[in-house]
A = this chain, B = another copy of it.
Amino acid sequence: MNRITRLFGIKYPIIQGGMIWCSGWELASSVSNAGGLGLIGAGSMYPEILREHIIKCKAATNNPFGVNLPLLYSDIDKHINIIIEEGIKIVFTSAGNPAKFTPLLKENGIKVVHVTSNLKFAKKSEEVGVDAVVSEGFEAGGHNGKEELTTMCLIPLVKNEISIPLISAGGIGSGSAMLAAMILGADGVQIGSRFAASKESSAHINFKNKIVEAKDNSTMLSLKKLTAVRLMKNSFYDKIVEAQNRGASVEELRELLGRARAKRGMFEGDMKEGELEIGQVSATINAVMPVKDIIDEIMLEFNKEKQKLLNLNF
Contacts and interface: CB of A to CB of B under 8 A. Distances in A.
Interface of A: 1-2, 5, 11-13, 118-120, 137-139, 146-154, 156-157, 160, 170-172, 174, 176-177, 179-185, 215-217, 220-221, 225, 245-248, 279-281, 283-284, 299, 302-303, 305-306, 309-310, 312, 314
A171 B183 contact: no
A305 B147 contact: no
A232 to B, nearest CB: 13
A299 B314 CA distance: 8
Contacts of A12: 314
| Chain B CB within 10 Å, residue with most, of A153, A177, A220 | A153
A148 B13 CA distance: 28
A216 B221 CA distance: 18
A299 B247 CA distance: 47
A9 to B, nearest CB: 14
Nearest to A118: B216
Given A150-B138, A176-B185, A284-B157, A309 B312 contact: no
A150 to B, nearest CB: 4
Nearest to A176: B183
A87 B137 CA distance: 43
B152 A172 contact: yes
A81 to B, nearest CB: 36
Given A309-B183, A309-B309, A174 B150 contact: no
A64 to B, nearest CB: 16
A150 B139 contact: yes
Contact of A2 (B5, B179, B312): B312
